[in-house]
Amino acid sequence: MSRTKPTRVRRDLASSLSSEHGPALRAILKSGEAGSLDRFEDAVSDIWRGYRQAAIAMRDAPLAHRLYNLWDGLTTTEVLELLDFPETPEHVRARILEQLGHFNRLSRFAPTVLRALGPRLTRLSGAIGRPVRVLEIGCGDGNFCAAMSVWSREHGVPLEITGGDLFPETVEQARANLAAEHGDVALEVIDALDMRGVEGGAYDLAICLQTLHHFRPGKVARAMAEAARVSRLGFFMVDVARIPALLTISRLGLPLLYDEAFVHDALISVRKAYSRSDLLLLASLASHDPRVRLLPPFHTLVEGGAGI
């Protein structure tokens, strides 16, 4: 029996599609013409449908791959999180975000990300000889901006940090949260899917955390393309990983600690998360030579741009 890993088949398919379509799609982005982002997003959506259909239709694929497809089909969902429903009451939304913050602290999310991000920031600082300009896209309440500010002071690596979020009220809340101890962090209203108001290369590095699973595939690639455009040296994106261990924790463990609304959104988040092969395809269509890997214990890391 073939010992080919099930994900290897999908990675090979993703690499083939990105080689075939990536140059033409990046040319659309580079043109800067009116509507180019929308055309890019539509093209990626078409490629994604072909990718999913091809992965399922491989009748001569190894048994492990067919079993993976079965697991993938059973765990994937199109159900929206409560956070993504405009009609969700504000007090429910606030409670979900509060409990997400608690879970992130409990699981040491910020230290985990900074262990991966810190060496890159240190190398960038040494290479460019000035403070590294960092944009966090979808910064929410500003907690990770604050964590980066603390890390910068503790490690002697100067950073100029900007947090951006789509919603003005969220930006105002983040500004209030950070005013006392992290007033050096700039906060702006920024749409991850359309940053035409931000000059190309305005930042050295763009980061985006726990956001990609909220987007459809075309929009994921669009967010990556915009992040690549506004950052001189690439992007750094972390999202939840769709792995059996996290599905089990979300279904069986979280109800012991958290409200039903948060448990609902946590489980949906894991089920909507993209696999590493999925993210490799989308990132390859949006940027050159991305790198995708598991960030233990519960996340996936996507890096694009210069490997400094």
The DSSP annotation for 170-230 comes to: HHHHHHHHHTTT-TTSEEEE--TT--TTS-TT-BSEEEEES-GGGS-HHHHHHHHHHHHHH
pLDDT in tens, 80-100: 999 988 899 989 988 998 899
Which structure tokens are listed for 177? 């949260």
Listed in sequence order, the residues at least 6 apart from 301 whose beta carbon sits closer than 8 Å to its beta carbon are 116, 236, 237, 238, 292, 293, 294, 295
Q: From CA 136, how far away is CA 133, in angstroms rounded?
A: 10
pLDDT in tens, 118-152: 999 999 999 999 999 999 999 988 999 999 999 99
Longest dimension (CA), the chain: 62
Residue 54's pLDDT is: 87
Q: How far, in Å, are 121, 188, 205 from residue 131 at the CA level?
A: 10, 19, 11
Whether the CB-CB separation of 17 and 70 falls below 8 Å is answered with no
| Short-list 196, 201, 278, CA closest to 240 | 278
The domains of the chain are located at 82-304
Homologous superfamily assigned to 82-304:
Vaccinia Virus protein VP39 (3.40.50.150)
- For the chain, the average pLDDT equals 91
Q: What are phi and psi of 184, to 5 degrees?
A: -80, -10
Residue 22 in this model has a pLDDT that exceeds 80: yes
Q: 62 by DSSP, 3-state: which? A: coil
pLDDT in tens, 276-288: 999 999 999 999 8
| Short-list 97, 107, 110, 191, CA closest to 146 | 110
Question: What is the average pLDDT across 16-32?
Answer: 92
Query: Does the reported pTM lie above 0.85?
Result: yes
Residue 2's pLDDT is: 41
